Amino acid sequence: MSLPHAITRIIGSPSAPPLDPNSTEARQQLAHELAKAGYQSAKPTLIQLIEKALSDWFASIRPIGGAGVGDSLGVVIVILVIAALAVGFLIFGVPRLNRRARSVGALFGDEDERDSVTLRRAAEAAAAAGDYATAIAEEFRAIARGLSERTVVVTFPGTTAHGFAEQAALSFPSSRGALRAAGDSFDGVRYLSTSGSEAEWLGVSALERALRAAKPILEGALA
């Protein structure tokens, strides 16, 4: 019922007060009339008010490229999803699947697609044949590939043996000295043409086993 109807009803009522009430009496009479059930039932509910507010907001979205409100809303949803994914990447890093894909390829200057198990077996075979230079190099590669597979440390083209050792030491601080020594041994047989020794091979092999069994401080974090 509209406000004019309400006023008419007040005026036309047999029990209505005099037609010349003062302003305070008029407001009280009008408030009393509007408080009746017929008027209250016509008031929108809270849910209806919220629905209208949302509808007005969606309708206010300017169409993008001539698209309708529904298309514009779809664009807004896509933008929100992309933003959520971006936040997820910033917080949790790149997906583990991508990390695993990067665990193969360049390894200390060489393209190498072998996994850590294959590299470790190659090192053991070389050591059994007395070729400690190859055994040391392959075992050190097995260490690097193993940590890459576990997404603890990922090597990239240009990563050096000592650079890898320092990064790995962040997750295995108790093995820092052994990692540096293994890096020295690798550089010796790889770049300085040293023959290596059984003692050096045993040291790198023991380090590989220890790191394989150890839990890094930053589990699953890229160093």
Convert the pLDDT of each residue in 127-182 to its tens digit: 999 999 999 999 999 999 999 999 898 888 888 999 999 999 999 999 999 999 99
pTM of the entire structure? 0.54
Of 194, 196, 186, the C-alpha closest to 141 is 186
pLDDT at 180: 96
pLDDT at 49: 72
- Is residue 129 helix, strand or coil? coil
84-110 tens-digit pLDDT: 676 665 555 555 444 444 455 667 767
Mean per-residue pLDDT, 118-122: 95
pLDDT at 222: 46
> Band of the pLDDT at 121, cuts 50, 70, 90?
very high
- Is residue 47 helix, strand or coil? helix
206 has a pLDDT exceeding 70: yes
Domain boundaries, the chain: 3-40, 46-92, 97-213
Residues 156 and 93 sit within 8 Å (Cβ to Cβ): no
Q: Half-sphere exposure of residue 111, counting CA atoms within 13 Å on the CB side?
A: 0
Residues 107 and 144 sit within 8 Å (Cβ to Cβ): yes
pLDDT at 71: 55
42-73 tens-digit pLDDT: 566 666 676 677 667 666 655 555 555 555 55
> Band of the pLDDT at 112, cuts 50, 70, 90?
confident
Structure tokens at 164: 């890898």
User: To 5 degrees, how large is the angle CA 172–CA 157–CA 147?
Assistant: 25
pLDDT at 223: 43
